[in-house]
Structure 1
Amino acid sequence: MATQAPPQWALDLTSAPTQKPKSTSIQDPPGFTAALSTKQRSGASKTPVRKTPTEEEMDTLKMKKAWELAIAPAKQLPMNAIGMYMTGNTLQIFSIFMVFTLFKTPITAILALQRVFAPYETPGTSSRLIVVKLVYILTNLVGLCLGIWKVNKMGLLPTTRSDWLAWEAERTWSERAIPRAWL
């Protein structure tokens, strides 16, 4: 079986571009120059090598990324607050799921603190990361407080006296308005 030669269009794609024949009546688009186009093609393979960043530049970049990570939970708070408002104060599966998520997300984030900030930990950034980690913990605690507020609005927190009636003793009167003999 004889192998077929590739089609002409495939050969044209793999070969170097040829100069445009001057006999065509089609003009170049505005802003196009053939000399500039061939320079860009030949210069594309000889791009200057990017210099490696210094240790200080890397530490600065790592701190910026760590700060972005630390305030990320605070950026979620408005959306969580809108979700809590939209679910209402009744006990429904959706509102219970939202409250569960409000408790689960900050707790798991705080427990995974060292793993989250491990990529940014270097000898140059370790002392500065303490403040970043504290901000991360505080923003997660604010999210946790939003969950506690929602549970209170749903009436699930025992904050009134009637919630503790099972543990309250019966009242004993020291005086009565009516003598015992009359009862």
Structure 2
Amino acid sequence: MSEKEIPPPPRWVVELNSPPPSRSKSASSLPDPPGFLSSKAVSKKSEQKTRKPPTQEEMDTLKLKKSWEIALGPAKQLPMQAIMGYMSGNSLQIFSIMMVFMLFKGPLQAIAQTNSTFARLEGENTRSQMLGVKAVYVLMNCLLLALGIWKVNAMGLLPTTRSDWLAWEYARTPLERAYFPR
């Protein structure tokens, strides 16, 4: 008996496995589309453009710019947090309580980690400028804390009226001194 002959693979498998024949530029009558760069032009362009490494002054400028972006980041959160605070309402519900918790937790953590936040961007030449950046960062986080205090006050949890303090102003009479009729 003869072995089973393996049929040849389909034409699409053969075409997929073999690269297409290269066409020469002279053989093609169609021009390249606008903006198309042939592989030869790309290789020539990459040889011509060799990027020089940035100087220390340029790196310091970039680090300072990035640090200002980080410092102003909490200010970009203010409108969103204010809208969320307004939308959550002033009643004591789990959503509003969790929102107030996050309004206090985030800025307090950010203020505590200020030095570590800017440690990778701080250099010998930018140390004096980083003090101002850190101060702005702390100020912006304090604005977020103020928003949290406003929200707690709007919820009625801060003792800001006289009636809130009346319980603490007057001494209470102990039960032993109370007079009961016989």
TM-score between both structures, scaled by the size of structure 2: 0.77
Q: Secondary structure at the match of 2:128?
A: coil
Change (3 A) 1:32 1:159: closer
Q: What corresponds to 1:19 in structure 2?
A: 24
* Alignment partner, residue 9 of structure 1: 16
CA distance in 1, matches of 2:72, 2:155: 28
Distance (whole Å) between structure 2 residues aligned to residue 150 and residue 55 of structure 1: 46
Deviation at 1:48, TM superposition (A): 3.0
Q: Report the Cα distance in structure 1 between the residues aligned to 2:106 and 2:35, rounded to whole angstroms.
A: 55
Give the equivalent residue in structure 1 for 2:56: 55
- In the aligned structure 2, how far is the partner of 1:97 from the partner of 1:85? 14
- Which amino acid in 2 is paired with 1:166? A
Q: RMSD over aligned Cα, in angstroms?
A: 2.8
Q: What are the residue-to-residue correspondences of 1:2-151 with 2, within 5 Å?
A: 7-12=14-19, 17-19=22-24, 22=27, 27-28=30-31, 30-31=33-34, 37-43=38-44, 46=47, 48-151=49-152
Amino acid at match of 1:94: F
Equivalent pairs, count: 162
Q: State the Cα distance separating 1:167 from its structure 2 match.
A: 2.0
1:3 corresponds in structure 2 to: none
1:31 maps to amino acid: P
TM-score normalised to structure 1 length = 0.77
Give CA deviations for 1:124-148 in whole Å, capped at 9, x if unaligned: 1111100000000000000000000
Distance 1:100 1:118 in 2: 28
Post-superposition CA distance 1:30-63 (Å, at most 9, x none) = 5378xx6253243266353211111100000000
What's the CA shift string for 1:140-163, capped at 9, x where partnerless?
000000000010010000111222
- Give, in whole Å, the separation in 1 of the partners of 2:82 and 2:131: 28
Q: Which letter does structure 2 place at the counterpart of 1:42?
A: S
* Separation in 2, partners of 1:32, 1:153: 59
Q: Calculate percent identity across the aligned residue pairs.
A: 54
Question: Unaligned stretches of 5+ in structure 2?
Answer: 1-12, 173-182
Q: What is the distance in 1 between the residues matched to 2:30 and 2:162?
A: 89
Tell me the CA shift for residue 8 of structure 1.
4.0
User: Which sections of structure 1, spanning at least 5 residues, go unmatched?
Assistant: 1-5, 172-183
CA distance in 2, matches of 1:140, 1:106: 5
Amino acid at match of 2:16: W
The residue type equivalent to 1:105 in the other structure is: G
Q: Distance in 1 between matches of 2:112 and 2:39?
A: 57
**Alpha-carbon distance in structure 1 between the residues aligned to 2:112 and 2:159:** 27
Q: How many angstroms apart in 2 are the aligned matches of 1:87 and 1:71? A: 25
Tell me the amino acid that sits aligned with residue 19 of structure 1: S
